[in-house]
Structure 1
Amino acid sequence: MIVLTAPTSTIGRLLVDDLLDRGAPLRLVARDPSRLAPEVRERAELIEGSHGDAAVIDRACDGAETVFWLAPDNPAATNAETVYVDFTRPACEAFARHGVKRVVGISALGRGTPMAGRAGTVTASLAMNDLIAASGVAYRAVSCPSFMHNLLRQVGAIKEQGMFFLMADPDLKNPTVATRDIAATAARLLLDDSWKGSGQVACLGPEDLSPNEMARIISEVLGTEIGYRQIPGAALKERMTGFGMTDAMAQAMVDMFDAKNQGLDNAEPRTAESTTPTTFRQWCEEVLKPAVTA
């Protein structure tokens, strides 16, 4: 039995479909199972509730061999450690109590870098990895740079202003990854019962691109000039708190982007295993362009 947390998330939906297509027995933990497609609800076992709830995750882990773990965003949290470490603690106790053999989690790059201890949400995510590994299960952190998918939050700005805005240095080349490739990596690990111990599997996409290069590709795909503008951390923080994010979580996001500008995501060596297939241009053609032209 494979337990999937966050099955209605961007990654979780892809993972559910992939594993069901392969005939894997799934148990899905969802706050609102009605958000799952009817055919998914018919083919998987469902547990309603938050996977951060000790009673819920305890039921989910009973009889499970493998768990997919994804800590959900919580912009109202008092700090990033609450989102990652405190939320995950009941699950680690359940893993040990029920003898779960393997856990695959979604995390960030940066372990072993000088920036890892001051990278906001990344720092908390790496602490979550340590907590899971200490529970005694075999653990693989699928470690990712920024998601291509995050640009969908900028569809309005791209359509109305012909621009997108990030904190990233305009000329700094960084890896980015498609969520479909993250889900494919997670599925492979969840179906493989041969690995042991703890470690990470990086998903780096096929290329490193700067925001200016991304703007050029977006322009070519959309057939109209799209520009990029770097925004300072203070302005980003003000924008996030204006949307209701707590001051601490907004600062954790700013700290993360500061660390990325200092090379956090560039420290992981690119290998054949860490190079995932979906290019940024392909993602723009298949995902961003339909969203912008809708």
Structure 2
Amino acid sequence: MIVVTGATGNIGRSLVGRLLEEGVPVRALTRDPARAGLPVRTEVVRADLTADTDLVPLLGGADALFLNLAAGGGESAQRLIDAAVEAKVPRLVLNSSLGVTDTPDDETNFISRSHAAVERAVRASGLEWTFLRGGNYATNALGWAPTVRRDGVVRDPHPGAQGAPIHEADLADAAAVALLDRAGTHVHQVHRLTGPEVLTNAQQVAAIAEAIGRPVRIEQIPEDEAAEAMAGPHLPLAAARELIGLFGRTVDAPVFPVTDTVARVTGHPARPFAQWARDHAADFS
């Protein structure tokens, strides 16, 4: 049985479906089971990972844990790691970040700093582990959906920013392989995962326009305006400003080069952004 945190998020939902296809029992942790909308074969369990509750019972009988930092933040992640050790869960697969480099640069921004800290805690736990370092999630483009639906506009500070956006289904497929790995091939491995091609934000917007069959224009806005829009309960304004600045530096060259890791781990090529745009056309329509 596999425990999945962040089960109703983009990666988690895809992962739950993938594991069920393999005939593996899944325990999905979510704050609101009534609204989870997960497949009927899923064991859906109420869990607020930010609350000061005993997490050990949630992991009882688990063969592996999928840990997504987005499900509760760093403190919750540490409590889950400790609970996994106490519950004798043998394996943990962490959804980490390409921003982690195992160098002092990891302390230079919020994303790499927070994920590096969790990686260190996982390494120290004694559990079998696999780190999935993804970057430039294609689902980040969903932040553009409200203005695309309303007036056909994407407002972005860096239309020329470059990245290799990765489909959440590819991250889920890689996670499933690591969670179900019986040969130990992926134990104590760090997988750097990207999409198959470098695209600018403007090119991503063009792909979305093609997928929905109507024009979408991109309008450049100031960095401060973008940071204020990005900031929220789990992302302080200062951290949002760090990230916007990082995106700006990719106008000259992508921070993360394209890798073939999705193909090597899953056995299939990484899905292109155009496919992601078609898969999510309803979100922009």
TM beyond 0.5: yes
- Matching residue's letter, 1:162: G
Extract unaligned runs of 5+ from structure 1. Answer: 74-82
**2:284 match:** 292
| Cα shift readout 1:100-152 (whole Å, capped 9, x = no counterpart) | 22111212112226753222233212222221221111222221122222222
**1:84 match:** 73
Q: Is the 8 A contact 1:170 1:211 kept in 2?
A: yes
**1:13 match:** 13
**1:191 match:** 180
TM-score by length of 2: 0.84
| Two-structure CA RMSD over aligned residues (Å) | 2.8
1:271 maps to which of 244, 259, 263: 259
How far the C-alpha of 1:21 sits from its partner, in A, is 1.8
Identity among equivalent pairs (%)? 24
**What is the rounded CA distance, in whole Å, between the counterparts of 2:63 and 2:52 in structure 1?**
18
Matched, 1:118 2:108: yes
Q: Is the 8 A contact 2:196 2:259 kept in 1?
A: no
**What is the rounded CA distance, in whole Å, between the counterparts of 2:134 and 2:38 in structure 1?**
31
> Kindly tell me: are residues 239 and 48 of structure 1, through their superposed partners in 2, closer, same or farther at Cα, counting changes over 3 Å?
closer
Greater relative CO, 1 or 2 (CA 8 Å, sep 6+): 1
**What is the rounded CA distance, in whole Å, between the counterparts of 2:128 and 2:211 in structure 1?**
42
Extract unaligned runs of 5+ from structure 2. Answer: 264-268
**2:33 match:** 33
Q: Please give the residue correspondences for 1:81-230 in structure 2 after superposition, counting only pairs within 5 Å.
A: 84-112=73-101, 115-167=105-157, 169-193=158-182, 194-195=184-185, 197-230=187-220
> Kindly tell me: are residues 239 and 28 of structure 1, through their superposed partners in 2, closer, same or farther at Cα, counting changes over 3 Å?
closer
**What is the rounded CA distance, in whole Å, between the counterparts of 1:196 and 1:283 in structure 2?**
27
How far the C-alpha of 1:97 sits from its partner, in A, is 1.7
> Kindly tell me: are residues 280 and 238 of structure 1, through their superposed partners in 2, closer, same or farther at Cα, counting changes over 3 Å?
same
Count residues in correspondence: 277
| Cα shift readout 1:11-37 (whole Å, capped 9, x = no counterpart) | 212111111121102222222222234
- Matching residue's letter, 1:137: L
> Kindly tell me: are residues 165 and 126 of structure 1, through their superposed partners in 2, closer, same or farther at Cα, counting changes over 3 Å?
farther
> Kindly tell me: are residues 151 and 137 of structure 1, through their superposed partners in 2, closer, same or farther at Cα, counting changes over 3 Å?
same
Q: Is the 8 A contact 1:8 1:35 kept in 2?
A: no
| Cα shift readout 1:188-236 (whole Å, capped 9, x = no counterpart) | 1111131465342122111110112223333333443322233333112
| Cα shift readout 1:64-113 (whole Å, capped 9, x = no counterpart) | 2210111236xxxxxxxxx5321211112112222222111212112226
**What is the rounded CA distance, in whole Å, between the counterparts of 1:218 and 1:13 in structure 2?**
22
> Kindly tell me: are residues 261 and 24 of structure 1, through their superposed partners in 2, closer, same or farther at Cα, counting changes over 3 Å?
same
How far the C-alpha of 1:39 sits from its partner, in A, is 4.6
Q: Please give the residue correspondences for 1:253-272 in structure 2 after superposition, counting only pairs within 5 Å.
A: 253-263=240-250, 266-272=254-260
SS at match of 2:57: helix
| Cα shift readout 1:41-64 (whole Å, capped 9, x = no counterpart) | xx3434322234564421122222
| Cα shift readout 1:252-278 (whole Å, capped 9, x = no counterpart) | 122123224335994544332246522
**What is the rounded CA distance, in whole Å, between the counterparts of 2:172 and 2:146 in structure 1?**
27
- Matching residue's letter, 2:242: D
